[in-house]
Structure 1
Amino acid sequence: MSHDYLAWGWTPGAGLDGLRPIRKPLPTPGPGEVLIANRAIALNPVDWKICEWGHPAWQQGTVPGVDGMGVVAATGEGVGLPLGSRVAYHQSLARDGSFAEYCLVDASLVMAVPAHLEDAAAAALPCPALTAWQALAKIPEGASRDVLVVGAGGAVGFYLAQLALQRGLQVWATASPRHHATLRALGVVGVFDYRAHDWQAQLQTALGERPLHALFDTVSGAHASGLASLLGYNGHLVCIQDRQESAPLPAFSTAISLHEVALNSIHAHGQLLDRQQLKAQGQQLLQQMADGRLVAPQRQAFDFAELPQALNKLKEGNQGGKWVALLP
C-alpha cells in the first residue's frame, strides 16, 4: 500500500473550477474507523452544491464526495470487518469524502455489498436510496393510500416511487416525458409532465373523491409549498430539498404535517440505534438491487480524471442517468 493517494481537493470560494488533483498522506484508521480503497464513486447533487456553497468544516484541500464503494484496506480498534470486504458507504460532509483513491469512514455505517452486485451499482445507491427510504418512513398509514412523487425521473424520486409501491401505496408521479414509460412499467398508476400547465388539475381529476395522503417534493422548499393545497385532510408534505420554514397553508384548515429529510445529518446527530437502523436498511436495499427487486436508475459512466466536468454536467442537467466512475 502506498503512503499517499490521489484525490480531488477543494479550493475555498472557487466552486467546481477550484477542484484540483492532489496527493494526500494515507491516514491510519482510529478506533471505530475503516479505510476503504475505492473501486467506484457516484455523484449526487449535494456534491456540486457543497463545492459551490462551501461547508464550515472545509478548508483548502478538503476532498468532496459522499457516496462510494470499495474494499476494506485497513481497520481501527474495535472494527471486525475482514480486510478485502466489499462495502459501500455514505460519507459525512464534515470529513474528506469519496472523490479519492481512499476514504476513511465511520465503520458503524459501512454497508456490506452482495457478492453478485456490480461495483458501480453499489456506489450509486446510498445517498438517493437511503434518502428515499427516510422520506417514506415519515409517512404513517392514512385514510387514503394515494401519494405523489414530484420529480420521479431523478434518482431519489425513482427509488422513492418503487419503495412506496412495495409498501402497497398507490403512486402518482411527475417527471419529464422520457421517464413516463419506465415509471408506468414499475407500477406507477399515473405520470404527469410537470411542464404541462394543467398537470395538477389532471391529477385531481384522476383522484376523484380520494384525498392525496402524501406529497414528496424533490425540487425545493418553495416548490413544495406551492403544491401543499393538493394534499387532503391530515396529509403529509415531505421536502427532500430544503424544508418549510413557515406553514404553507392557514392554521386549522387541512391540518397537514410538514417533514424534512436530512440523510447526512445522521453523522452529527444520529445515535447508535439510528446508525444501526440506517446500516441495516442500506444493506437490505443493496440486496434488493442484487436480487432485481429494486431497479436502479440508468447510469452514466465518466472517467475519474474528468470528475469536475462530470459534476458540471450533473449540475446543468443536460444528460440523464446516475454519474458513476470506476477506479483502477
Structure 2
Amino acid sequence: MHADFAAWSWNSDKGIDGLELIRKPLVQPRSGEVLVANRVLALNPVDWKIIEWGHPDWKDGHVPGVDGMGVVVAAGACVHIKPGTRVAYHQSLSRDGSFAEFCLLDAATVLVVPAALDDSAAASLPCPGLTAWQALDKVPGASGDVLVVGAGGAVGLLLMQLAVQRGYRVWATAATKHHSNLNALGAVGVFDYRQAHWQQALQSALGERRLLAVFDTVSGAHAASLAPLLGYNGHLVCIQDRQETAPLPAFSTAISLHEVALNSFHAHASLSDRQRLRQAGEQLFDGVLNGKLSLPPHQVFDFRKLPEALHALKQGGEGGKWVARLNESDSVLPA
C-alpha cells in the first residue's frame, strides 16, 4: 500500500488556476468507510463553481471533485464491500474528493459497478444521473406533458430519457446541434432556447394542454420565468438554485415548487434514503448496459492538465463529459 498519493489541492480565493498538484499522506478507512484507488474521475459543473466560489467546509489543501470510479483497496469495520470491488461514487463536498489517486468514502454511499460496464461510463453517471433521478422523483404520476430545459447537458439528457421511459410526453430545449439526437431518444419536440419565441412555439404545439412539470437546469430566475407554462397543480423543479419567493400569485394555478440538492443527502439522508439512492444509481448503470440510457460522448483529458479541462468545461468546450483515466503503472507525481 502506498504511503502517500497525488492529489489536486485547492487554495482559497485563487480559483481554478490556484489548484496545485501535491502529495498527501494516505489515511486508512475507519468504521463504515472504504478507501478507493481511483481509475477514472469525471468533471461536473459543480466542480468549477465550488472551486471558484468556495465552500464553508473547505480549507487550503482540500481536494475537490465529486464524481469518480475505482477499486476498493481497504475497508473499515462494519463494511460488507470487499476489497477488489469496482465502485463509483458521488463524494460529499465536505470531504476530500475525486481529484486524486485515492479517495476515502462513506461505504453507505458507494455504487457497485457491474462487471460489463466501462470504467468511464461508471464514473460519469453519479452526479448527473442521480440528480436527474431526484428531479424526476419530485413529480407524481406517469402521464402528461413535461419540459426539460437544457437537455443538451448531461443532467438534462439523462432526465429527458428517464421521463420518456416513465411515460411522459417530453418536450425539451437545447442547442440546435442536439435536436436530432433528442428526437431520436423520444422527445416529442425540441426548441432552441436562443430563439426569442420558443415558449410561444411550445404553447402552440401543446394546444389546450398545459405542462405538468418544468425541469429547469439553468437558474432559479430562469425557472421562475417558465412558471406560467404550468397547468393547475403543476410542478416547477429547480435543478440549479431554488425558488425563494413564489413566482406566481397565491391561489392561482397552485403550482408546487421543488429544489434538487444531491449533495445534501450526505448530511441529511437516512439509511433508507441512502439505500434507495444506491438502488437508483445501480438501476442507472443497468440502463446504460441494456441500451435504455444514452450518455454524452466522453472528452478524455490528462489528469495532470485538470485545471485546463475545468476551464474548458466552464467555457462550454466541445461538449460531452470530461473524464480523466488514472494508470497505476504511471505515477502522476513521483513520491
TM-score, normalised by the number of residues in structure 2:
0.97
Supply the distance in 1 between the matched residues of 2:55 and 2:197 (Cα, whole angstroms): 39
- 1:226 counterpart residue number: 225
- 2:331 counterpart residue number: none
Letter in 1 for 2:93: L
Q: Deviations over 1:267-313 (max 9, x none)?
A: 01111111111011101111111221111111111110000100011
- 1:315 counterpart residue number: 314
Supply the distance in 1 between the matched residues of 2:139 and 2:171 (Cα, whole angstroms): 16
- 1:8 counterpart residue number: 8
- 1:300 counterpart residue number: 299
Letter in 1 for 2:158: Y
- 2:95 counterpart residue number: 95
Runs (5+) with no aligned partner, structure 2: 328-335
- 2:46 counterpart residue number: 46
Mapping 1:198-277, distance limit 5 Å? 198-277=197-276
TM-score, normalised by the number of residues in structure 1:
0.99
Supply the distance in 2 between the matched residues of 1:87 and 1:318 (Cα, whole angstroms): 28
Supply the distance in 2 between the matched residues of 1:287 and 1:164 (Cα, whole angstroms): 16
- 1:25 counterpart residue number: 25
Q: Which deviates further from its counterpart, 109-118 or 285-294?
A: 285-294
- How far the C-alpha of 1:16 sits from its partner, in A, is 0.5
Mapping 1:71-150, distance limit 5 Å? 71-141=71-141, 145-150=144-149
- 1:284 counterpart residue number: 283
Mapping 1:60-75, distance limit 5 Å? 60-75=60-75
- How far the C-alpha of 1:141 sits from its partner, in A, is 2.3
Computed over aligned residues only, the root mean square deviation of the Cα atoms, in angstroms, reads 0.8
- 3-state SS in 2 of match to 1:209: coil
Q: Deviations over 1:104-145 (max 9, x none)?
A: 000001111111111000000000000000000000128x61
- State, as a whole percentage, how many aligned pairs show the same letter: 67
- 2:330 counterpart residue number: none
- 3-state SS in 2 of match to 1:236: strand
- 2:332 counterpart residue number: none
Residue 155 in 1 paired to residue 154 in 2? yes
Letter in 2 for 1:315: K
Supply the distance in 1 between the matched residues of 2:232 and 2:82 (Cα, whole angstroms): 51
Supply the distance in 1 between the matched residues of 2:268 and 2:110 (Cα, whole angstroms): 17
Runs (5+) with no aligned partner, structure 1: none
- 3-state SS in 2 of match to 1:135: helix
Runs of 4+ deviating beyond 4 Å: none
